[in-house]
């Protein structure tokens, strides 16, 4: 089969998307992809474009954050025919899978001191070593003042540099235990998940010939969800990038919500300093959500500096239902209203239970709403309506989203009214934004004045993010939040 012309890869794309896909194959590009802007399509089409024999057809490395994302990209490339036409198939996988394969290939593991080609350390393997080590200490008459959970925490990321901030005695004990555990892993050929990227970096830094070989093998690098990279993952990209770098980085700092996993949204800005030739392109057409939802989403970051700010515009006609904000007196009335509204959406709008999602900031809210579905709507609704934290729902979309628990103390997740460091508060705002942008046609932002949380009654005020959004709405509305038993407040 003859390869298509370059224009074949941009068919059906808007101008921004087409520019990103068909940019010079040897350029360095940072694509700031707004919510619902077709990021996966652009990334996959770019990979297909680079795989085409007309543009080299070899040396494409695509790094993702989940196996599902890697599989989706590979499936689309195979369906397009780009995979078969490439001189060398692209390497597509997660950062950790890439690092693990680099360590395991061609005896590189021996350079790191492993006795055999390493396998992945299982949770049971680690727990067994901890139990055995503590038992041996006690049998020898040494009773360490350590619980298994504390020791397990010490041993996480065993090959990482020792952390600062501990007392000298504790730091010494921790370093000793970690040294013993590392020796065990090296002798048994086992490698923890968290150490894969760390050791891949160690290999590349210590062996210039290996690094040069990687650069020659993969001259073009694509990275998905770049806002979720850690410092080590950014450093891996920096090392692998040749001079001049041929990079295609895709991300959205507005959706950076994995700081607790070590993700650093500052990497987007850092990349501009590390790679001076990096050009920025913004995808700002949202094909997921209705106009009112897109408008509300834009209000969340209205004060953000312009350099990285995106101004989304609706690219689909998904209706004009207004974003509704509802503040109920308590969780019971809120649940009754919610089920009633779901039934209305089914009867009047033709939605199925599976078209609707209940999202929340913390897992502690899930049992309450699941029980409400079972008792008030039946087992079918409880099975088919998606209940998820915002983190679990990232990347997904639903016709109707009921964003619950929008109270100060839950979102932002803090002691109600207590100050948070700016970085934490910024991430909480991004979590709010991600929840908002999961909705396609109907969005309900819901809080209540009183609820039972973890078995205790809680009085709550609406989330400050919610109040900010309310004040920004250019529509007639009641000037103060009114709570009327039996009725909901809505815009």
Q: Which of 254, 283, 312 is the last residue of a domain?
A: 283
pLDDT at site 82: 85
**pLDDT tens, position by position, 120-169:** 999 899 999 999 989 888 888 876 678 888 999 889 889 988 766 555 67
345-348 long-range contacts (CB < 8 A, ≥24 apart) are 345/400, 345/442
Residues 381, 236 share a domain: no
What's the number of domains the chain is made of?
3
Q: Are residues 301 and 339 in the same domain?
A: yes
Q: Are residues 176 and 212 in the same domain?
A: no
223: in domain: yes
Q: What is the pLDDT of residues 438-487, one digit of tens each?
A: 999 999 999 999 998 888 888 989 999 985 444 333 322 332 333 333 33
Is the entire prediction scored with pTM above 0.85?
yes
Question: Which DSSP string do the residues of 98-155 spell out, in sequence order?
Answer: HHHHHHHGGGHHHHTT-SS--EEPPHHHHHHHHHHHHHHHHHTT---S--HHHHHHHH
Q: Is 477 part of a structural domain of the chain?
A: no
Q: Which domain holds residue 416?
A: 291-472
Over the stretch 266-280, which tens digit does the pLDDT of each residue have? 899 899 999 999 999
- Whether 183 maps to a domain, the answer reads yes
Tell me, yes or no, whether 464 lies in a domain. yes
Q: Which of 267, 283, 299 is the last residue of a domain?
A: 283
Residues 246 and 344 in one domain: no
Residue 383, H or E segment: helix 379-384
Answer yes or no: do 50 and 93 share one domain. yes
Domain check: are 384 and 459 in the same one?
yes
Verify that 178 and 207 share a domain, yes or no: no
In this predicted model, which residue has the larger pLDDT, 137 or 235? 235
In this prediction, residue 39 has a pLDDT band, given cuts at 50, 70 and 90, of very high
Query: 140 lies in a domain?
Result: yes
- Whether 396 and 251 map to the same domain: the answer is no
């Amino acid at each position: 089969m003859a390869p298509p012309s370059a224009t074949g890869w941009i068919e059906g794309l808007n101008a921004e998307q087409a520019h990103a896909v068909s940019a010079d194959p040897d350029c360095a590009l940072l694509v700031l992809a707004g919510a619902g802007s077709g990021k996966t399509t652009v990334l996959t089409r770019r990979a297909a474009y680079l795989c085409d024999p007309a543009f080299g057809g070899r040396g494409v490395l695509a790094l993702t954050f989940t196996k599902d994302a890697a599989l989706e990209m590979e499936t689309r490339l195979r369906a397009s025919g780009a995979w078969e036409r490439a001189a060398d198939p692209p390497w597509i996988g997660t950062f950790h899978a890439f690092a693990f394969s680099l360590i395991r290939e061609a005896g590189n593991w021996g350079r790191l001191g492993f006795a055999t080609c390493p396998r992945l350390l299982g949770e049971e393997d680690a727990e067994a070593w901890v139990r055995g080590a503590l038992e041996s200490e006690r049998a020898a008459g040494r009773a360490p003042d350590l619980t298994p959970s504390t020791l397990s925490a010490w041993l996480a990321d065993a090959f990482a540099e020792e952390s600062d901030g501990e007392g000298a005695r504790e730091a010494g004990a921790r370093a000793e235990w970690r040294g013993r555990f590392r020796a065990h892993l090296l002798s048994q050929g086992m490698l923890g998940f968290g150490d894969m990227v760390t050791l891949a970096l160690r290999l590349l830094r210590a062996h210039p010939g290996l690094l040069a070989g990687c650069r020659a093998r993969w001259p073009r690098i694509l990275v998905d969800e770049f806002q979720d990279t850690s410092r080590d993952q950014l450093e891996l990209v920096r090392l692998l990038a040749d001079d001049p770098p041929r990079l295609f980085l895709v991300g959205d700092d507005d959706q950076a919500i994995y700081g607790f996993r070590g993700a650093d949204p500052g990497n987007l800005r850092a990349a501009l300093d590390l790679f001076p030739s990096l050009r920025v392109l913004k995808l700002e057409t949202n094909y997921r959500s209705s106009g009112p939802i897109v408008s509300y989403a834009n209000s969340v970051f209205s004060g953000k500096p312009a350099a990285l700010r995106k101004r989304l515009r609706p690219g689909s006609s998904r209706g004009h239902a207004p974003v509704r904000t509802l503040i109920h007196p308590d969780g019971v009335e809120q649940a009754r209203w919610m089920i009633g509204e779901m039934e209305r959406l089914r009867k009047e709008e033709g939605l199925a239970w599976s078209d609707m999602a209940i999202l929340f900031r913390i897992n502690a809210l899930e049992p309450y709403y699941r029980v409400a579905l079972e008792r008030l709507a039946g087992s079918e609704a409880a099975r088919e309506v998606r209940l998820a934290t915002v983190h679990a729902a990232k990347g997904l979309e639903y016709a109707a989203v009921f964003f619950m628990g929008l109270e100060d103390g839950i979102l932002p997740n803090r002691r109600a009214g207590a100050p948070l460091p700016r970085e934490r508060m910024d991430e909480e705002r991004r979590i709010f934004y991600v929840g908002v942008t999961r909705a396609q046609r109907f969005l309900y932002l819901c809080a209540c004045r009183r609820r039972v949380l973890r078995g205790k009654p809680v009085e709550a005020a609406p989330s400050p993010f919610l109040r900010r959004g309310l004040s920004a709405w250019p529509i007639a509305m009641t000037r103060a939040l009114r709570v009327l038993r039996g009725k909901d407040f809505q815009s």
